[in-house]
Amino acid sequence: MNTHSEKFELKARLELALTASEKASELIMQHYQSPDLKVDRKSDDSPVTIADRGAEELLRKEITLAFPEDSILGEELPPVEGTNEFKWILDPIDGTKPFTQGVPLFGTLMGLEENGKLVLGVCRFPALNEVVYAIKGEGAWWKIRDQEPRRARVSDKSQLADAVFCTTTMTRWETIGKQKAYEHFCRNSYLARGWGDCYGHMLVATGRAEVMVDPTLSPWDAAALLPILEEAGGHWIDFDGKPSIYSGNGLAVNDALKDEVLQIIAR
């Protein structure tokens, strides 16, 4: 595929992802803060709701109608094997726990692999009416409500003492034997907060935080994040510094603090 046709293919899929994720947001918001919302438990004890399942079904339908040859991997439904080089990786509600608690820091994630490399990411926040998105080589963009999209850029802060550190679940640091690293970040950062899941990563991508660490995660938690962080001038990497969504852990960080953050985690 030449560069021109590749860009056309990606831009067409970006438009689909933006439209489909907006439709999914409308579905999700029908259940948000509902007193009748039922929360089920999956085999790993993580929560799932009718909104999670319904949103993924909607996303899959939109993808299949527009690009029937694309593969699909999602959190809630079985994978679909396509016949071309594109594979969507979906998380209909990243942050189901905040969603079920009525906290607005959850997002709908759509990542796209081309020949095994992540080239597109969309992270939409239904309750905040914001979306951050990117395709390879075109920069990252942040749209707030009805405002014009603005460039998403990581900050240039180079001192941990000036940085905002975020994480999803504090107890997981101890589970993986990284409690000392967690304590170091908390004690030596300007601000440490539990603004977690995809929201924390997008804080880094938009320059509002510098470090966001997820001690444990799945590929669908991360697929949309990697291209956005890279196009925003930062990094989405695993604990070994590799840009992989399949390592079971990951972090978002600006360029200036990358090496120091990896050194702290490696202790």
**164 falls in which pLDDT band (50, 70, 90)?**
very high
Mean pLDDT of 236-257: 98
Q: What is the pLDDT at residue 4? A: 62
Mean pLDDT of the chain: 96
Q: Enter the pTM of the model.
A: 0.96
Place 6 in a pLDDT band, splitting at 50, 70 and 90: confident
Strand partners, 125: 130
Enumerate domains of the chain plus CATH numbers: 3-151 (3.30.540.10), 160-266 (3.40.190.80)
How far apart, in whole angstroms, are the C-alpha atoms of residue 112 and residue 235?
Answer: 17
Tens-place pLDDT, residues 103-121: 999 999 999 999 999 999 9
**Chain position carrying tokens 């180079």:** 158
Per-residue model confidence (pLDDT) at position 5: 66
β-pairing, 211-214 with 164-167?
parallel
Question: Above 90 in pLDDT, residue 60?
Answer: yes
Distances (CA, A) of 179 to 33, 175, 265: 34, 8, 10
pLDDT 10s digits, 198-229 = 999 999 999 999 999 999 999 999 999 999 99
CA distances to 37, 111, 213 from 236, in Å: 34, 13, 10
Query: Helices (H), strands (E): how many in the chain?
Result: 9, 14
Written as one letter, the residue type at 92 is P
Answer for the pair 215, 249: CB distance below 8 angstroms, yes or no: yes
Compute the distance between CA of residue 215 and CA of residue 253 in angstroms, rounded to an integer.
14
Burial class of residue 55 (count of CB atoms within 10 Å of its CB; 0-12, 13-18, 19+) = buried
